[in-house]
Structure formats: structure tokens, C-alpha cells
């Protein structure tokens, strides 16, 4: 790992609020780069720490490789180093993940978000080698993404301890929802910065030594999610707690259907016009949308 990667490692370890940004679409479901530019500029103005492009919320699973890399390149170009850009580059095929990771690095990403292999899954040694193979061949830091509810695989602590020794693997986005697991990560893998992958658990994860959040709800409320992390870091836990509780009902309604359906519906309700979804994702049910709209309105 070169000196620039070491600097990026230390910067990521300071944490904050990273938005798992949506990928806006035109009516024909092509990527709306003009809208993406608008969203990025708004996030920078609102105090977001970094942009995570082409994650789950960014619908990477329905983007072709050239589209995914074009989105990452566009985010890097618009951001111009004002905040961090993390590129989703995960796959359940290791060579594919390596290809996406190296291409994202070429396009200027500051770091990578790599999900555990899904569907085919793997054994412990395969899991270690999957991540290590990518980390060995890039010069930007890697954030592991643990979300067993989507992938069917949870990174065992024994494997995580080995991965934490790799100089290029610097953090974990922890979205299992299991705070006992977060505690074990904090205790057994102090080398790793821990980001909450669940908007409902930002404060609990911070209280266990976490450094921030990679957030879905921050697509709508970037200023308050950045403030939540900053208040906690600065010792104002009462204000951080107030903000966590303030968004409890909206967060609940943002996950009544599979992400990113509700967040894109919510953004459209708020006038952002980020477009629809690519199948198999489909429009939110009217009942669920009405509850979401009510929760958003009550915040006002």
C-alpha cells in the first residue's frame, strides 16, 4: 500500500455520514447524469462526508458494467476531491469484482465497497481469498460489506480477523443488524473502522466504537445524518440521540419494501424526480407509499 492509500485509510477511519446515493433514471430508464450532478452538489453543500456510488441503493445489480463505471467516473468528475467517493465494485465472481475494482480505481475512486459473494456464497477460505485477491491488486482502500440478509453469508469473525491484517482492507459496512456481531468486530478487529449499514442503528454502532454510517436515508436528510455523526464524535450524545429518534418512523417506512424502492419513491414525493426502477424492482404499493408519505409529512 503506497502513501496515498495510507492517507485514504486514515481519512476513511475518521468516519462521518456517507450517502449510498441513488442512481437517477430518465423515463426510458437510462441513467440521468444531469440529475446525478444535482444530487451530488446538494450533498456537498449539506455536509455529506462522502458519496458511495453504485451500491445496493444505486441499483448496481441492474447496471451493465459500462454504465456502472460511467456513473463512478461521473461522480468522481463532479466531486473533484471535495469529498470522498467510494465505488461499489462487488460481485459474486472474484475476477469480475477485481475488474470493476481496478477500473473504478482508474477512474479516480477514493475507495471500494465490496460485498460478500451472494447466491453461490463460499466457505471460509474462499471468502478470505475473494476479498484478499482484490485488495492485493488495487492501491485504494477497501470497505467490506456484510449484509447477510441479502447475500445469505455472514463474514465469520475468524475470517474478518485475517482480512483486518491486510493493509488495504480498512473498514466494514456492517448491515447484519446484529449488535452482538458489531461488538465482536470492535473487540477482535480494532484495525477496522466500522460503519453502520443500518440507518436505525447509527447511534448504537457509534457507541460500540463505530465511526459513521453509509446511509440510505441520507439521500433525503443529508444535513441531519452528517450532524448526527458529528455531534456524537464531539461528545454531544444528547443531540445525536435526538436526531436518531427523530427519523425513526421515516427509517422504518424506508424499509417496508426492498431498498431502494422506498427511498426513490420518497425522493420523488419530495420533488427530486429521480425516476423509476429497473426490473425486477417495481413501484411501491400504494398502501406502503401512503404510509411513507405520511411519515415524511409528519417530520415537517
Alpha carbon distance 192, 84 (integer Å): 18
Cβ–Cβ under 8 Å, residues 132 and 115: no
Cβ–Cβ under 8 Å, residues 62 and 97: no
Asked if residue 257 has a cis previous peptide bond (ω within 30° of 0), the answer is: no
Those residues whose C-beta lies under 8 Å from the C-beta of residue 235, and which sit 6 or more positions away, are none
Catalytically active residues, by annotation: 145, 173
Those residues whose C-beta lies under 8 Å from the C-beta of residue 5, and which sit 6 or more positions away, are 139, 140, 141, 167, 168
Please give the biggest Cα pair distance in the chain. 52
Amino acid at each position: 500500500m503506497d502513501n496515498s492509500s495510507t492517507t485514504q485509510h486514515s481519512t476513511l477511519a475518521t468516519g462521518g455520514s456517507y450517502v449510498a446515493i441513488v442512481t437517477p433514471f430518465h423515463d426510458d430508464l437510462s441513467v440521468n447524469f444531469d440529475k446525478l450532478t444535482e444530487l451530488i452538489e446538494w450533498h456537498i453543500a449539506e455536509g455529506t462526508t462522502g458519496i458511495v456510488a453504485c451500491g445496493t441503493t444505486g441499483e448496481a445489480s441492474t447496471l451493465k458494467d459500462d454504465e456502472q463505471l460511467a456513473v463512478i467516473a461521473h461522480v468522481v468528475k463532479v466531486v473533484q476531491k471535495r469529498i470522498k467517493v467510494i465505488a461499489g465494485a462487488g460481485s459474486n465472481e472474484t475476477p469480475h469484482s477485481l475488474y470493476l475494482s481496478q477500473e473504478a480505481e482508474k477512474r479516480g475512486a477514493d475507495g471500494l465497497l465490496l460485498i460478500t459473494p451472494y447466491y453461490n456464497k463460499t466457505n471460509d477460505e474462499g471468502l478470505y481469498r475473494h476479498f484478499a485477491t482484490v485488495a492485493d491488486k488495487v492501491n485504494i482502500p477497501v470497505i467490506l460489506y456484510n449484509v447477510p440478509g441479502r447475500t445469505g453469508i455472514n463474514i465469520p469473525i475468524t475470517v474478518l480477523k485475517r482480512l483486518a491484517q491486510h493493509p488495504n482492507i480498512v473498514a466494514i459496512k456492517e448491515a447484519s443488524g446484529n449488535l452482538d456481531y458489531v461488538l465482536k468486530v470492535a473487540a477482535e478487529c480494532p484495525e477496522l473502522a466500522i460503519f453502520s449499514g443500518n440507518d436505525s442503528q447509527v447511534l448504537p454502532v457509534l457507541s460500540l466504537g463505530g465511526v459513521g454510517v453509509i446511509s440510505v436515508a441520507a439521500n433525503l436528510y443529508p444535513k441531519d445524518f452528517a450532524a448526527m455523526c458529528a455531534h456524537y464524535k464531539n461528545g454531544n450524545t444528547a443531540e445525536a440521540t435526538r436526531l436518531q429518534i427523530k427519523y425513526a418512523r421515516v427509517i422504518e417506512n424506508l424499509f417496508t419494501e426492498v431498498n431502494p424502492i422506498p427511498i426513490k419513491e420518497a425522493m420523488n414525493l419530495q420533488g427530486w424526480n429521480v425516476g423509476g426502477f429497473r426490473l425486477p424492482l417495481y413501484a411501491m404499493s400504494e398502501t406502503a407509499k401512503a404510509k411513507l408519505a405520511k411519515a415524511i409529512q409528519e417530520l415537517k
